[in-house]
Every structure is written in C-alpha cells, then in structure tokens.
Amino acid sequence: MNEHQYRFDIEVLIRSGCRQRVVGGGAVQLVTIHLFDGPGVVDCLTGEPIATEGAFTNLTPPDARLLATKLLASAAEADRMRVEASR
C-alpha cells in the first residue's frame, strides 16, 4: 500500500503570529500553505470519508514567490500538453 497521502484542496494563509526571527533582530512574516481534503473526499481503497488532518508548511516570502512562479510555469506547461494531446 502506498503510504503517501495526497490532498485535494489547498489554501494560502498569512497568520499574524507566524514569523521567523532574523539575525540581528526583527522577524519575517511567513506564508502558510495548507493542503487538505475538503468535504466529500473519500478513500479510493475503502470508500470511507477521508478523516486525515491536513498538511501545513511555512515559507519565507522569497520561497513563496519561487513556489508561485514554478506553479504558474507548470500550469502553463500542463495546459500546453492538454491542447497538444487533443489534436
């Protein structure tokens, strides 16, 4: 059985208390990524509703921008591939 768990929904949060301290003082606001299963998602092996908790990660603003850039590029490539496959 595959131990990886895939999430079907994603949200991006800015939580006011979620900061990373910076050497020399101050702090950087982090961007929180939340991957989760929304209502109605069922386990494909059991047919039961998925009851696992979501997965969270915190990114610095530069890392969040890099991820956004990579996601946009990947989405554009996926769209291009879909169009080519339908020809």
β partners of residue 28: 20
pLDDT value, residue 43: 78
pLDDT at 2: 45
Rg (CA), the chain: 18
Is 56 domain-assigned? Answer: yes
Beta bridge partners of 29: 19
Whole-prediction pTM: 0.74
- pLDDT of the residue at 1: 38
pLDDT band at residue 3, thresholds of 50, 70 and 90? low
Q: Is residue 26 part of a domain?
A: yes
Would 2 be classed as within a structural domain?
A: no
Distance from C-alpha of 3 to C-alpha of 41, rounded to nearest angstrom? 18
How far apart (Å, rounded) are the C-alpha atoms in residues 1 and 85?
Answer: 31
Number of domains in the chain: 1
pLDDT digits (tens, 9 = 90+) for 4-62: 566 778 999 999 999 999 999 999 999 999 988 877 788 778 888 877 778 899 999 99
For residue 86, what pLDDT band results from cuts at 50, 70 and 90?
confident
Residue 42 lies in domain: 9-85
